[in-house]
Structure 1
Amino acid sequence: MVTNATPIGGPTAWTRSTLREQDWLHHISQPLPELGIPALTLLAKKAKAALEESPGLMVIRGWPVEGRSEEQIDLLCYTFGSLIGAPRAQKTGLVTTGANQPRRGMDDRGLAFHTDRGGPPGPPHLVGLLCLRAAVRGGESLMVSGHAVHDRLLEECPDLLPELYEDFHFGAGTVTDFDRVYPVFTRYAGRVRVQYNRHWIERGQEAAGKPLAPSAVAALDAFDEILTDPDLVLRFSLRPGDLLLVNNDVVLHGRTAFTEDPRARRRLARIWLD
């Protein structure tokens, strides 16, 4: 068990009051009708700096998405994503279809703070969401620095923090899910990786036949309690043409509940990058 956890600090441990809009929001200032590679390369360089250094997220506003087919949207996400990382082999298009959608996280309920689990070989390094159609009401994106949560835990309950450097099962009961075993906080190469999803941790531990110890429950509860501090939470609404990019090793994301027009569902395209 890790017993010498130290503060992370620095610009990645931001709060809402320390983060400036220009740190995370970028407007495409010139029309990019054909989205040429030179223009995309310059934009990707700026995005990579925000994702890898600080604050670990970026919204690029102004992508030309109106009237484009699903195949064109997939190509757009893949082309730009390839300039930032290695796209996962997956179907990019993702439609959220409200109350009739059975899969958790793709319905109209609020979504708790988490990092994406992804599929094999493990959690993706970066997550991208391109807004094609917004909800009628609600659906705000919520962002929290996992590094800020770490440092608050160290300050307020240092006796519980080491528990979160131990392994947890992030799964639902299949052999593949049992392979999803990793800590909430991991130190590597001078950095701290954050992976968190309370829902999947509880399901994974139960499926593995390893109920959470009281000390682990207390540590997870402390993590969740810190997430309720509004000063840690960056809130914004994605507009059509907004591309949200998140460092999945640093920033937790969530979403408020939303109401949509059943004739024009809220629609996002997602891409995972390594």
Structure 2
Amino acid sequence: MRLQKIDSPMAWKGPDIDYRTEMMHVLSPVEIAEIDAALRRCQDLDIPEITAERFPAPVLGGTLRRVKDALLNGRGASLLRGFPRERYTADEMARIYVGIGAHLGRPLAQSWKGELLGSVINISDIVERTRGYNQAGEMMFHVDGTACDIVSLMCLRGARAGGASRIVSAAALHNHLLETRPDLLEVLYRGFHHRNHEMDALHSPMVPLQTDHRLPFVSQRDGRITCSASGCIRYAVEQGGIAFSAAEVEALEEWQRLARSPEFHLDMDFEPGDIQFLNNRAILHGRTDYEDAEDVTQRRHLMRLWLHVPEWPAREPDQIYLTPDSCGHWQHTNRRPLMDLPGSYLAELRAMQEVRIRDNSVLAITKSVPKASDWIRPG
């Protein structure tokens, strides 16, 4: 295999980019008026019912076509800003977000539960066994499932401090390793086994629990790079009996070290209402650490979409462990009506948090009450 440099606008380095001028579009009054009108048409629709046709926006639609082209042929990242978050409820924001996303691709279910709209919020102190995006703190660089072509986030509420979206170009990391450590790049091209979440595999006959072959960590065709840097690689080691070689450990650690370096990554600070779109094949994302609120309804809260774009060039077959058909099976089998809307989700979380607080208080009081034996002293 002859390794080649990726020569495209996607191979950028963070310090060379001002995302406010190169990756950001500020919504115009006309575009916001179109969104208002489209929302009225979708006010009572469930998430799967909101399509580009049911969310018409002629001027904004032109902007989104340019965004879509930039995601595939340009920098691979885009941010929409200027949305008047204060005008809308969380559920209205959700419907607007899905309507905008539908102009770029088809929303996919993000887990066996079938949710089309995910909530990225720390609930690890309320719900047992949460996934990474429902925990607090910094996140390492990764891409989401291989069924997803565009991964997107909308900011409902920011953190008290910190919590910037941190992104990096896989092409830039690839090119640097090609120059400095081609031996490690060869390891990444050979790839790794992946292991899915057990419940995801259990609830779809099309999702293997663990791959029987290595998936290339990076691959390229026609000058385009695709990356499969997901946490599923770690699960294969922690739960699937896979052992890394010393070279594999070094390759993965060097990849993350470079991504964390200020020489490569770019931070985007989210404002309420911001919508970020990333090419999930070529742009890795993470986040910085942050300070959050105690009340779960006041915590940093992003909504997430996985979008499939059928007209984009297909991924390499040997790099796929999750397909749009798998996600469709989850949606049609397990999804409940209106389950994705954040209003009812936050209300449920708040009720669960109050139970936790009450139970912990009772436990603390019980532990502080002296036992009968404590009052008996040998005399």
TM-score by length of 1: 0.89
Q: Moved runs in structure 1, 4+ residues, more than 6 A?
A: none
Tell me, what secondary structure is at the counterpart of 2:286?
Answer: strand
Higher helix share: 2
Specify the alignment match of 2:7 in structure 1: 9
Gaps of 5+ in 2: 36-55, 110-114, 202-207, 309-379
Letter of the 1:64 partner, please give it: P
CA displacement at 1:262 relative to structure 2: 2.6
Letter of the 2:103 partner, please give it: L
Specify the alignment match of 1:83 in structure 2: 103
CA displacement at 1:19 relative to structure 2: 1.9
CA displacement at 1:34 relative to structure 2: 4.2
Q: Return closer, same or farther for 1:126/1:173 CA change in 2, 3 Å cut-off.
A: closer
* Counterpart selection for 2:176 from 149, 152, 164: 152
Tell me, what secondary structure is at the counterpart of 2:136?
Answer: coil
Tell me, what secondary structure is at the counterpart of 2:106?
Answer: coil
CA displacement at 1:24 relative to structure 2: 0.8
CA distance in 2, matches of 1:15, 1:208: 35
Specify the alignment match of 2:293 in structure 1: 261
* Counterpart selection for 2:155 from 131, 134, 159: 131
Q: Is the 8 A contact 1:77 1:92 kept in 2?
A: no
Letter of the 1:154 partner, please give it: L
TM-score by length of 2: 0.65
Instruction: Tell me the alpha carbon deviations over residues 140-159 of structure 1, each in whole angstroms, 9 at most, x when there is no partner.
Output: 11110000000011111011
Q: How do 1:122-271 residues align onto structure 2 when only pairs under 5 Å count?
A: 122-171=146-195, 174=198, 175=201, 176-179=208-211, 182-197=215-230, 199-263=231-295, 264-271=298-305
Higher strand share: 1
CA distance in 2, matches of 1:115, 1:66: 31
- Cα RMSD (Å): 2.2
Q: Which range moves more in the overlay, 238-247 or 23-32?
A: 23-32
CA displacement at 1:201 relative to structure 2: 1.3
Structure of greater Rg: 2
Report 1 or 2 for greater relative contact order, CA contacts < 8 Å, sequence distance ≥ 6.
Answer: 1
Instruction: Tell me the alpha carbon deviations over residues 180-208 of structure 1, each in whole angstroms, 9 at most, x when there is no partner.
Output: 962111223442101213x4312213433
Gaps of 5+ in 1: none
CA distance in 2, matches of 1:65, 1:171: 38
Tell me, what secondary structure is at the counterpart of 1:143?
Answer: strand
Specify the alignment match of 1:30 in structure 2: 29
User: What number of residue pairs does the alignment pair up?
Assistant: 267
Q: Return closer, same or farther for 1:173/1:116 CA change in 2, 3 Å cut-off.
A: closer
Identity value in percent = 29
